[in-house]
Structure 1
Amino acid sequence: MPELPEVETVRRGLIGLAGRRIESIDIQLPRLIKWPTPSEFADLVTGKRILSIDRRGKYLLLQLEGDLALVIHLRMTGRLYLRHAAEPSDAYTRVLFFLDTGDRLVFADTRTLGTLYLMHLEELSHIHGLASMGPEPLSSEFTADYLARALNRRKAKVKSLLLNQEIIGGLGNIYVDESLSLAGIHPERTGESLNREEIERLFAAINHVIDDALSHHGTTIRDYLDSSGREGGHQHHLQVYGRKGEPCQICGSAIQRIEVGGRGTHFCPKCQQ
């Protein structure tokens, strides 16, 4: 699933849409429209100008005229990209937004797990994932003190806690593994077992990993492409994720893979004792 760096890369690639008007829409797979009904969605979005392209966690938010927000969650294989008038659309196109420039904003999704909402700004709290989301890495709200409070007295494993979007927004499997690796913390440690020094290391590691992934335009393992159809580059810089059996780049021990909370988890058995 695209995580914060991938979704932010898509957002940055679509910033030029600000000021464009949606002339019409073609909903090819209506069940991806979660609110309102597909027909109401089409009626409301048609004729609206795009004011800004924002992001919260793993959600894209296109603010439209009329105090409306088009909220898109890419899920596993969703893609949002721009196609010029003469260019063919993706074979997995699900929703097409026709713009006043003649271009098309395309939502494509292989597994059809993505979701689209159109809501008034004051209604966004009805989307549970948005309303309950914790602070994001690199934000002023995300501090070492906040992380310490969030992990304090938690008996759950730290890997699972970091994946909880109500604790930290935008983190997913790849960047949690990478953050724990950089901090030298075993993914099966409990939240309450971490001391202040370890929490400080973990806080710094999370911010570093996310910032580094943003600089490489995200990580492409299988499906992720940015808004121009290009792969990210951070997969060439991963320390542990997807490297089962390969040598740790620090100590040479073989990277191990286990299940933590039902999620595949990669770590170095020596550096993360």
Structure 2
Amino acid sequence: MPELPEVETTRRGISPHIEGRVLRQIDVRDGRLRWPVPEGLDELLQGRKLLAVERRGKYLLMRFSTGHLLMHLGMSGSLSIVDGHTHDAEQIGKHDHIDLVFSGGVILRYTDPRRFGSLLWTDQPVEAHELIHHLGPEPLEEEFTSDYLYQRSRKKKQAIKTFIMDSQVVVGVGNIYANEALFRSGIRPTRAAGSVSRAKYERLVADIKMVLAQAIEQGGTTLKDFVGGDGKPGYFKQELLAYGRGGEPCVQCGKAMKEIKLGQRATVYCTRCQS
């Protein structure tokens, strides 16, 4: 599933091509996504200018003067920019479910083999939408602080890894980046969130911000993939110190990294360096 850096890279990849353009039509070839694509979107938005492409958590928000399109990429969704004047626009694949056709012949194409993504519409304040209103702070924004995380964690017996992956606590800290931040912070993923000290939370918040910012920066090299490509930034070629390294030597002490299942997610840590 795309994590926050992948979604942010997607936003940055598509926005220069479609922001400020008029939406000419929406072609829904298969609206059977996680939730059915609302009927009548084409009539509702035809001729409207796209004001901005924003992000909240893992949701892409396409802002029009009359409301927002909410898009989630699900497990396997991706977006690509297609030039409607070329032969590529006619090459519609089996899983190319939706085209948003903008002025100038620019097409935003949504592809999703597993159809777990979504495209929804709201004309109400987007912050109040049922999929958005409960979300915690953005990890790269100022309101996500060590004091906030420390206070939220008090008396929590929940494992620290599942705690920071809870979107009601903070959005976008997915499995890969939770593993990485906890390794860098020297915190064992299974440790109770309420037992982590304020000093450790200061380190953890800094490391969460660092690993996410680095992933987004590295994702910038994939922006060209959104034009004439498959639109998938994938998981960026990073120096992952923990995730996917079960059984391999710890980069700090050399001891074999331990891999377990925690909350049904692969969790890798060093029993010597993380406590």
TM-score, normalization by structure 2: 0.90
Aligned to 1:29: 30
What is the aligned length? 266
The Cα shift of 1:4 comes to 1.2
Distance change (3 Å), C-alpha of 1:269 and 1:33? closer
Aligned to 1:83: 82
The answer for the alignment partner of 2:167 in structure 1 is 165
Name segments (4+ residues, structure 1) moved above 6 Å.
none
Letter in 2 for 1:19: G
- Match of 2:226, SS state, is coil
Measured after TM superposition, the shift of residue 42 of structure 1 is 2.5
Distance in 2 between residues matched to 1:211 and 1:90, nearest whole Å:
33
Q: 1:149 aligns with which of 151, 154, 163?
A: 151
Q: What residue identity is the alignment partner of 1:234?
A: F
Distance (whole Å) between structure 2 residues aligned to residue 233 and residue 262 of structure 1: 20
Q: Which aligned pairs between 1:75-114 and structure 2 lie closer than 5 A?
A: 75-85=74-84, 86=86, 87=88, 88-114=91-117
Query: 2:271 aligned with 1:272, yes or no?
Result: no
Counterpart in the other structure of 1:51:
51
Shift of 1:41: 2.2
2:130 to 111, 114, 127: 127
Tell me how large the CA RMSD over aligned residues is. 2.1
C-alpha distance after superposition, 1:79-127 (max 9, x if no partner): 1221112123444211111111112111111211001111114255233
Instruction: State the identity as a percent.
Output: 37
Distance of aligned partners of 1:226 and 1:170 in 2 relative to their CA distance in 1, 3 Å threshold:
farther
Secondary structure in 1 aligned to 2:40?
helix
Cα shift at 1:22: 1.4
Change (3 A) 1:204 1:133: same
**Secondary structure at the residue paired with 1:216?**
helix
Compute the displacement of 1:210 (Å). 0.8
Residue aligning to 2:239: 237
Q: Secondary structure at the match of 2:69?
A: strand
- Counterpart in 2 of 1:198? 200
State the one-letter code of the partner of 1:149.
Answer: Q
Which runs of 5 or more structure 1 residues have no equivalent in the other structure? none
Q: Distance in 1 between matches of 2:198 and 2:259?
A: 27
Instruction: Specify whether residues 118 and 33 from structure 1 end up closer, same or farther in structure 2 by C-alpha distance, changes over 3 A only.
Output: farther
1:262 alignment partner AA: Q
Shift of 1:232: 5.1
Q: Which residue of 1 aligns with 2:252?
A: 250
Tell me how far apart the structure 2 counterparts of residues 60 and 110 of structure 1 sit (CA, whole Å): 19
What SS does structure 2 have at the residue aligned with 1:208? helix
Contact 1:75–1:113 under 8 Å retained in 2: yes
Q: Is the 8 A contact 2:69 2:121 kept in 1?
A: yes
Q: Is 2:71 aligned against 1:72?
A: yes
Q: Note closer, same or farther for the CA distance 1:204–1:83 as it changes in structure 2 (3 Å cut).
A: same
Q: Is the 8 A contact 1:218 1:232 kept in 2?
A: no
Structure 2 Cα separation of the partners of residues 28 and 213 of structure 1: 33
Q: Given that residues 156 and 191 in structure 1 are in contact (C-alpha distance below 8 angstroms), is that contact kept between their aligned partners in structure 2?
A: yes
Q: 1:175 aligns with which of 152, 159, 177?
A: 177
Show the counterpart of 2:3.
Answer: 3
SS at match of 2:27: strand
- 1:231/1:69 CA distance change after superposition, 3 Å: closer
- Single out whichever of 14-23 and 83-92 deviates more from structure 2: 83-92
Cα displacement (A) at 1:233: 6.6
Quote the offset at 1:253 in angstroms. Answer: 1.6
Partner of 2:254, secondary structure, is coil
Unaligned segments of structure 2, at least 5 residues: none
SS at match of 2:251: coil
Name the CA shift for 1:30/1:230 in 2 (closer, same or farther; >3 Å): closer
